[in-house]
Amino acid sequence: MNILLDKFETPFETTPFDKVKNSDFLPALKEAIDIAKKDIANLKNNSEKPTFNNVCEALEVIGKEVNKVGGVFFNLHSAESDDELQNLAKEFSPMMTDFYNDISLDTDLFNKVNEIYEQKDSLNLTQEEMMLLTKQYKSFTRNGANLNDKDKTKLREISKELSSLSLEFGDNVLGETKRYIKVIDDESLLSGLPEGIKEAAAMIAKEKGHEGKWAITLEYPSYVPATTYLDNRDLREELYRAFTSKASKGDDLDNQEIIKKIACLRHEKARLLGYSSHAEFVLEERMAEKPEKVEDFLKDLLEKAKPVAINEVEELKKFANETDGLDPKDFMPWDYSYYAEKLKLKKFNLDDEILKPYFKLENVIDGVFTVASKLYGLKFMQRRDIPVYHKDVMAFEVLDENDRHVSVFYADFFPREGKRAGAWMTSYRDQHLEGNSDVRPHVSIVCNFTKPTETKPSLLTFNEVTTLFHEFGHALHGMLSKVKYESLSGTSVYWDFVELPSQILENWAYEKECLDLFAKHYETNEKIPAEYIQRLKDSSNFHEGRATLRQISFALLDLSWHSGDPSKIKEVSKYEKEAMKNSEVLPAIDEAIMSCSFSHIFQGGYSAGYYSYKWAEVLDADAFEAFKEKGIFNKEVATSFHDNVLSKGGSSHPMELYKNFRGKEPTPEALLRRAGLV
């Protein structure tokens, strides 16, 4: 049997990354699909009366080998890809799509599930069993089981093409990011850049074969500090234009036609399934329910945030004029971060360079582990005997307060070629029950943080600190799951609820009681001064109006692509600017086309769902007030959040889970108060 299908003879049956080769994936997938097809035939040919057990529970475990192989493949495709893996994906991905279509379009399978569903009220099912049945029934009806044969064939073709286009989109963004490098041989051009960032730029140049020079790339840890600190305005402009025009330059990596095709195919698929738009299809299975509700939510936030954002930008233009004589009429997007950082320093005597020495990566990791220990009694033991897919990846065993195994946790922090940008949480195995045995999860977080240099460890910006807390919050959701069925486990919840566990954890990073646990100077070991923490809190709302507006603009762009018929879109640039114009407070740049690298919606599953971040902020601000009322490490509140949210996965409707924790539905007031928008 293929190594990917054998029982893994590793600690906790973790993936044997040290033994898996690219050539193992296709044979493993083919074999896994054959196993699943036999199981499907057995289920369909079972002559016994259909029951919840012999239909729904049997269907739940069909394809587990396919999921296992696919999970390893696509996680590596995102975090440790190479040309061979990218080419493999072109064959691998359509095979996966075909397999899932074979299930969702199988009339005989659907008829068996439908028979159970029609008698669901008389079956005395538990809440979780009812959720599984409902999810399976909707999975069939929402994926074409009721279509005629001609439309089923059409749906298959669309799904397959969407799968390939999504991969091509991601490959182009990664290719463009890898291709761009700005090599600098005149050190005076780096004026304003902090020493640590300059050293990192020298290290990048050396890695790319330009020893003795400096280099800036479009990777976040390189690009963001450059556009924040470089005094040279022309250089900031060049970098900004390169970054915002990613995959839209009319060359071999251009995504403009690809995203138009993706949007059109999604619309066609939704219409085929009986929905007026892709957004209507997606939002049926979200807390928000309808596009109109999302639109109202975003417009309400826009109304409150825009006047604040306009005032913030006007103040910044005035500051730039007073500081450097920059005419307010000439203020451009590449000036924003540069002057915002300077104004923040002037107002609060605080910037990332002051804070970074207190946020050594290893200390921040200890910090999130300590938070998890104080809230949920968890312990993290690094295990060097667990195989990893890259030398930078760390593996931990997670234990509870009684030293019982909870989870395996992987952490992958630094950018490299073959790894996509951004930060995300994923899993290699989800928690579920097999008989009476609780199969514990293997969870991973992947980030792109500032790498250590020859003279300095990895020192995080405060934004990177909150990113780590955010992704670790997702990881806790996966690690602490305690449900019966894998498809309802951990983060398998409505997408506008999935950000609650991640976003709520960010709140701890602003609290003195939490920062005192880990924020220590990397050289002197002194605790972060109380005045810095106060300044951090005071500055937490700095330009919150503009930040809120930015998120709203992305959500509106997403909704615009997916709420109507996109077949009439001719020029992506013109269309995007029209969709975002009401939320813009800085001049639009002709060649800047955000959609072409908007991986969240064209590759990452957030299509018609980007609003989820702001939606979940309403939940997290309201939920964190429960902790603030009784203490941020209060065991009673933490236990309630664990029992009602983190451990429950998707076993109940998210609003029920939330009300069980909070005792009431959330309101936006807590978010507006926290953001300083009221």
- For residue 609, the model assigns a pLDDT of 96
pLDDT tens, position by position, 648-663: 999 999 999 999 999 9
Residue 586 makes CB contacts below 8 A (sequence gap 6+) with 313, 331, 332, 333, 336
Question: Please, are residues 216 and 222 in contact by the beta-carbon 8 Å criterion?
Answer: yes
Distance between CA atoms of residues 228 and 242, nearest Å = 15
pLDDT tens, position by position, 310-351: 999 999 999 999 999 999 999 999 999 999 999 999 999 998
pLDDT mean over 401-418: 96
Could you tell me the pTM of the whole model? 0.93
Reduce the DSSP state of residue 527 to 3 states and report it: strand
Distance between CA atoms of residues 552 and 563, nearest Å = 16
Q: Is the pLDDT of residue 604 over 90?
A: no
- For residue 140, the model assigns a pLDDT of 96
Work out the pLDDT band at 180, boundaries 50, 70, 90: very high
Question: Please, are residues 270 and 280 in contact by the beta-carbon 8 Å criterion?
Answer: yes
Under DSSP, the state recorded for 587 is P
Please give the full DSSP string across 71-108, using - where no structure is assigned.
HHHHHHHHHS--HHHHHHHHHHHHHHHHHHHHHHT-HH
Handedness of CA 499, 504, 508, 509 (dihedral sign): positive
Residue 111 makes CB contacts below 8 A (sequence gap 6+) with none
Distance between CA atoms of residues 159 and 191, nearest Å = 50
Question: Please, are residues 398 and 479 in contact by the beta-carbon 8 Å criterion?
Answer: yes
Beta-strand (E) ranges in 100-190?
A: 182-184
Question: Please, are residues 638 and 378 in contact by the beta-carbon 8 Å criterion?
Answer: no
Q: What are the angstrom distances between the C-alpha of 395 and each of 59, 477, 620? A: 32, 18, 29
Q: Is the pLDDT of residue 678 over 80?
A: no
Q: Is the pLDDT of residue 1 over 80?
A: no
Under DSSP, the state recorded for 596 is G
Work out the pLDDT band at 457, boundaries 50, 70, 90: very high
Work out the pLDDT band at 233, boundaries 50, 70, 90: very high
pLDDT tens, position by position, 146-165: 999 999 999 999 999 999 99
pLDDT mean over 413-433: 95
Q: Is the pLDDT of residue 677 over 90?
A: no
pLDDT mean over 199-206: 95
Lowest mean pLDDT among 426-430, 458-462, 667-671: 667-671
Give the number of other CB atoms < 10 A from CB of residue 385. Answer: 9
- For residue 667, the model assigns a pLDDT of 87
Reduce the DSSP state of residue 353 to 3 states and report it: helix
Distance between CA atoms of residues 495 and 283, nearest Å = 9
- For residue 193, the model assigns a pLDDT of 97
Distance from CA of residue 251 to its chain's centroid?
A: 28
Question: Please, are residues 53 and 133 in contact by the beta-carbon 8 Å criterion?
Answer: no
Q: Tell me the pLDDT of the chain averaged across its residues.
A: 96
Handedness of CA 185, 191, 197, 198 (dihedral sign): positive
Work out the pLDDT band at 209, boundaries 50, 70, 90: very high
- For residue 672, the model assigns a pLDDT of 87
Burial of 502 (0-12, 13-18, 19+ CB in 10 A): buried
- For residue 147, the model assigns a pLDDT of 96
Q: Which fold has domain 11-104+106-146?
A: Glutathione S-transferase Yfyf (Class Pi); Chain A, domain 2 (1.20.1050)
- For residue 582, the model assigns a pLDDT of 95
CB burial of 120-153 (b: ≥16 within 10 Å; e: otherwise) equals eeeeebeebbbbbbebbbebbbbbbbbbeeeebe
pLDDT mean over 606-610: 96
Which residue, 540, 517, 514, is CA-closest to 621? 540
Q: What is the residue whose two structure tokens read 């969702």?
A: 104
Which residue, 27, 91, 95, 103, is CA-closest to 63? 103
Sequence ranges of the domains in the chain: 11-104+106-146, 180-244
Burial of 391 (0-12, 13-18, 19+ CB in 10 A): exposed
Distance between CA atoms of residues 364 and 466, nearest Å = 10
Q: What are the angstrom distances between the C-alpha of 421 and each of 120, 222, 461? A: 45, 12, 17
Radius of gyration, CA atoms only, the chain: 25
The amino acid occupying position 165 is L
Q: Is the pLDDT of residue 676 over 90?
A: no
Q: What is the residue whose two structure tokens read 């709520």?
A: 504
Question: Please, are residues 550 and 333 in contact by the beta-carbon 8 Å criterion?
Answer: no
What is the Cβ-side half-sphere exposure of residue 415, based on CA atoms within 13 angstroms?
A: 20
pLDDT tens, position by position, 501-544: 999 999 999 999 999 999 999 999 999 999 999 999 999 999 99
Distance between CA atoms of residues 131 and 629, nearest Å = 33
Across the strands, what pairs with 405?
A: 399
- For residue 432, the model assigns a pLDDT of 98
What are the start-end ranges of the H helices in 286-360?
Answer: 291-324, 333-348, 352-355
- For residue 208, the model assigns a pLDDT of 94
Which residue, 229, 191, 190, 218, is CA-closest to 338? 229
- For residue 621, the model assigns a pLDDT of 95
What are the start-end ranges of the H helices in 409-566?
Answer: 462-479, 500-506, 512-518, 530-538, 544-563
pLDDT mean over 584-590: 94
Distance between CA atoms of residues 253 and 149, nearest Å = 36
CB burial of 435-460 (b: ≥16 within 10 Å; e: otherwise) equals eeebbbbbbbbbbbbbbbbeebbbbb
What is the Cβ-side half-sphere exposure of residue 103, based on CA atoms within 13 angstroms?
A: 23
Just list the catalytic residues: 471
